[in-house]
Structure 1
Amino acid sequence: MPTPASVRALVRATPTAVKLPNRALISVSGSQAAEFLNGLLSTAGLNPLFIKGRVIYDVFVHAMRDAKSQPSYLIEYDATTPTDTPALLPTLKRHVLRSRVRLRDASDEFDVWAAWCHDANANNSKLWTRTKSGAIEPVWDSWPWGMEGEALLDRRADGMGLRRLVKKGGRPQEISTHDEGVPDDYLLHRIVHGVPEGVVDIPPMQAFPMESNLDAMGALDFRKGCYVGQELTVRTYHTGVIRKRILPVLLNPSSAAPHYLNNGQPWPQFTAGLNIHASVAHAPGEGRIARPRGTGRLLSTVRGVGLALLRLEHVEGLEKGNLKFELLDGEAGASDNDTRWLVAPWWPGWWPKEVESV
C-alpha cells in the first residue's frame, strides 16, 4: 500500500517552517537533572511518560545550558491536555523527592518551530529489529536526535526535518530559506509521514506506546535501565502481541473517485475518535469470510487525509482484497449524513519492511 498519488499532490513542494501552536515547555535544571529524567523517560530524545503502561504524554527533550553553564533540559509537550489528565508539571514534581532538581514552566520563554524539506534529515538507522511480539526498533549508527544547543533533529520518520526552540516572538534561522507555513501544513506533513503526536493521536491514559508506533519512531529503549512504566512496556516487548498500529489514511465518499478533494468540494470535517468499521468487501467465490470483529479509530485529520488506529488483522484483510474500511452514515462529523466514507490506509514509505528478528 504505497502513498496515494493524490496525497503526494497535497504536500508542499518547497522547504517550509511552521510555528507550532499549543506546545508547552517545562524547564528541568539542577545538579541531578539528568539522573532525575533518566528515571522517568524511556530514551533521551523523543519520549513517552507512562501511567500503568499507557502513555500520558509524548514529549521531546531539548538539551540546554543554564546561567551557570550547567546542563539543563526543556521538556516539550502538547498543552491541550484533557481535563481528566494529570497536569505534567505537578506530575513531575511528585517524583522529585530529595533530588537536587528545579522544575518550572518555561512556556512563556520560547516558541517551538518545525522545519523540513524533501531531501533533508533522512533517518540515520542502518538496521531494524523486530521481536515475536511485533515490536520494532531502529538501530542507530550515531546519536540521532541532534546536539546540545542546536536544533533537535526529528528522527521519528524519514524527512520529518527538525524542531527548534526560538525566544518568544522570534523567528528561526530557517525562515530565511524556507516558506513560512501554517499549522495545518505541519499536520499534513505529519499525517503523510504516518507520525502521531499529541493528545489527539496519542490519547492520554488510553494509548499503548507500541500501538502508537513509539517503538518504531525511536522513543523506546528496551535495554535502558528502570523508568516509570518500564515493566509493562518490556513485558509486552518480550511476551505480548501488538495487534494495532497507527497508519495514515485517505478519506473518500464511496461514490467519488479518485479523490474527493480534486472535485472542488469543501474540506470535510471529521471528529477525532470516530469508529472505523471493517466489513467484507465482496462475497467470496467459495467458502466464507468471517465477519471482522472490533473497530478502528480515526485520529487527526486535515484536507481529506488522517491518521487512524487500526487492527493489523483488518489491514491484512484489506491488503488481500477481502475487507474494506468505512465511516458509517451519520458518523462523519459535519459531512452529509447520507455519505458513506471509505477509509484507505497505506504504510508510510519509511516503515521498515525488511527487519532482523531478535
Structure 2
Amino acid sequence: MAPPRLPPAVRRILSTGPSIARLASKSVLSVSGSQAPEFLHGILSSAIPTSTRPFYSALLNAQGRVLYDLFVFSDHNINGRPAYLLEFNSHSSEAPPLLDLLKRYVLRAKVKIRDVSQEYDSWAAWDPTKDPEWESQRDWHFAESGAIEPAWPDPTEEWPWGSQEHFIRDRRAIGMGHRLLVKKGSRPAQASHYDQVAQIAYNLHRIVHGVPEGHIDISPNNAFPLDSNLDIMGAVDFRKGCYVGQELTVRTYHKGVVRKRILPVLIQSFESRSSSEPADVDESFESDIDIQPSLVVKGSGPRPRGSGKLLSNSHGVGLALLRTEHVYGRDAGHLELVFASENGASWAVAPWWPEWWPQQ
C-alpha cells in the first residue's frame, strides 16, 4: 500500500533536508573488560561481531519478551582497549533499570559496567541526498513463520552498521540516517551543515519510516521481538548460541506464526477520512488505545477477532501494532480500523506498508 498524503501540519514539521536532532530521552551505559564481548553475546538477541563494531540489538526477558531495544556503539577504555557504549531509552517503564539488570548477569565475568549518561549526548542525523551513497541494496531471508531477516553483504568487506567509534549507520529502515554519541554539551561536526531540529521532528521522521523505538512502541515485558519488527530491523540473530529469551524466539521463527506487525498509520476523523487532503489533527492520543476492526458492510462476514494498539503518535500520524489480517482486510476494503479517544470521539486509522518493507 502506497503511503498516504500526510496532513499539512506533519509536512510543515517533517524535515526533508539534512537534519540533526539531539535525543534528550536517551541514556548511555559503558561495558568494558576483557570478557565484554562474551558477556554481551550471552544476553543480547544479536550476534556480537568478532571485532568491536557497532550494531543494533535488544535485551529480552526469559519469556522472550522485549525489555530494551538499544544501539551498541564501539568505544575504548582509558587503556585503549575495546569497549562498548549502550544507548537506550531512559524513561521509566515496566522493565528493571538496565544498569541493575546487566549487573545481575555479570557473575564472575571480567566486565565493568557504569552509567556514562552524564558524559554523552545522543544525536540522530539524516540527509536524503547523502545517505543513499552508503545504503547498499538489501536482500532478505523469509521464514515460513513470517519472520524476515536482512541478508547483509559479506561483513568482512564492509560492516553494515559502520566502523567508526561513537557512530552507527541506522540500518533499521532505509532512509533513517545515522546515530552518534558526542561528549556532553558538545555539538556534532555535522551540526555545522545540517539543520538542527527538535526531537519531535526526529519522532515524525521515524514514524513515517515505520520505525518503532523505546518503551511506548515496544512495551517492556509485553512486546514480542518479531511483532515489533526487530527481526526486519536487524536486531535478532536466529542462529547464534544461547541468550536470554532465545528459546521462545527461535521456536516462533521455526514453528510459530508472526500475526502482528508495527506499521505507520494515518489518523483521521470520520468526517475527513475519505478526503484526498487529510485534515490536521491537533491532538495527540494516549498510547496503548485499542484499535478495533469493524466490517464495512455489517453482517457481510464473521466478526473480526482481536484488536490493535495505537503507539507513538503526533499531528495525525503514528505507529500501531496491528494484526496483519486486519491490515489486509482493510486493504481489500472489507474492514475499517477505528478507536475512541478519551472524550468519546471516534477516529479512523489508515495503515500503510513503508516503501522499504521487504517484498517476497
Contact 2:6 2:266 (8 Å CA) reproduced? no
In structure 2, the residue matched to 1:327 is 339
Contact 1:63 1:74 (8 Å CA) reproduced? yes
Contact 2:292 2:338 (8 Å CA) reproduced? yes
In structure 1, the residue matched to 2:51 is none
1:125 Cα deviation from its structure 2 partner: 4.7
SS in 2 for 1:6: coil
Q: Distance in 1 between matches of 2:319 and 2:278?
A: 20
Contact 2:268 2:281 (8 Å CA) reproduced? no
2:159 is the counterpart of 1:159: no
In structure 2, the residue matched to 1:53 is 64
Deviations 1:286-314 (A, max 9, x none): xx311111110000001110000000111
Q: Distance in 1 between matches of 2:271 and 2:229?
A: 32
Closer/same/farther in 2, CA of residues 259 and 105 from structure 1, 3 Å limit: farther
Match of 1:42 among 41, 45, 57: 45
Shifted more, 4-13 versus 185-194: the winner is 4-13
Closer/same/farther in 2, CA of residues 135 and 125 from structure 1, 3 Å limit: farther
Q: Where does 1:14-93 land on structure 2 (aligned, <5 Å)?
A: 14-43=17-46, 44=48, 45-51=55-61, 52-82=63-93, 84-93=94-103
Match of 1:271 among 269, 275, 286: 286
Shifted more, 251-260 versus 345-354: the winner is 251-260
In structure 2, the residue matched to 1:346 is 352
Q: Distance in 2 between matches of 1:174 and 1:198?
A: 25
Q: Distance in 1 between matches of 2:130 and 2:250?
A: 33
2:129 is the counterpart of 1:114: no
Q: Distance in 2 between matches of 1:97 and 1:266?
A: 51
Identity %: 48
1:126 Cα deviation from its structure 2 partner: 3.1
Count residues in correspondence: 343
Query: CA-atom RMSD, angstroms?
Result: 1.8
1:266 Cα deviation from its structure 2 partner: 6.0
In structure 1, the residue matched to 2:238 is 222
Contact 1:254 1:340 (8 Å CA) reproduced? yes
Q: Distance in 2 between matches of 1:121 and 1:230?
A: 33
1:259 Cα deviation from its structure 2 partner: 6.6
Task: Spell out structure 1 runs of 4+ moving beyond 4 A.
Answer: 257-263
Q: Distance in 2 between matches of 1:266 and 1:2?
A: 21
Instruction: Return the letter of the residue paired with 2:312.
Output: S
List runs of 5+ in structure 2 lacking aligned partners.
49-54
Closer/same/farther in 2, CA of residues 76 and 259 from structure 1, 3 Å limit: farther
SS in 1 for 2:254: helix
List runs of 5+ in structure 1 lacking aligned partners.
none
Closer/same/farther in 2, CA of residues 137 and 262 from structure 1, 3 Å limit: closer
Q: Where does 1:2-13 land on structure 2 (aligned, <5 Å)?
A: 2-6=2-6, 9-10=11-12, 11-13=14-16
1:137 Cα deviation from its structure 2 partner: 0.4
